[in-house]
Amino acid sequence: MSRRLVFAVVLVSFTAACGSDNATVTTPSSGSPNGPSISIVTGAAGLTTTAYSPNPQTITRGSSVTFVNNDSTSHTATSSGVFDTGVIAPGGRVAVTLQNAGSITYKCTIHPNMTGTITVQ
């Protein structure tokens, strides 16, 4: 089996395991599948509530928000028990589809001072 195929299988397995009944995590090639984007801004590691923009973000139940890393450092967007984007490399993007209404706080597990909130209506 080729290395690329093995890597793809592992990546898909990891991505599937990172969701919950509330969230689906995907890696879109461009744009957002069904909703707005949240930018991880330049210099985010040294920021707090302004590391993700816009913050807070409001989305409709069942829609997606795409985290786009516009920084030169890798980051995550993680909400314990709800979703985990995994590491997003510079220039990378990960979409999270949220099914349940409510307020969800998240942070970067690499730089825990970076925090954000998504309100799902």
What residue ranges define each of the domains in the chain, with the CATH number in brackets?
A: 3-120 (2.60.40.420)
* Residue-wise burial string across 22-44, b where 16 or more C-beta atoms lie within 10 A, e elsewhere: bbbbbeeeeebeebebbbbbeeb
Residue that is written with structure tokens 């993700």 in the block: 52
Confidence band of 27 (pLDDT split at 50, 70, 90)? confident
Burial of 56 (0-12, 13-18, 19+ CB in 10 A): middle
User: Average pLDDT of the chain?
Assistant: 85
pLDDT, greater one: 31 or 113: 113
Give tens-digit pLDDT for 57-75.
Answer: 999 999 999 999 999 999 9
Lowest mean pLDDT among 1-5, 34-38, 100-104, 117-121: 1-5
Quote the pTM value. 0.79
Contact between 71 and 44 (Cβ < 8 Å): yes
Other Cβ atoms less than 10 A from the Cβ of 97: the count is 21
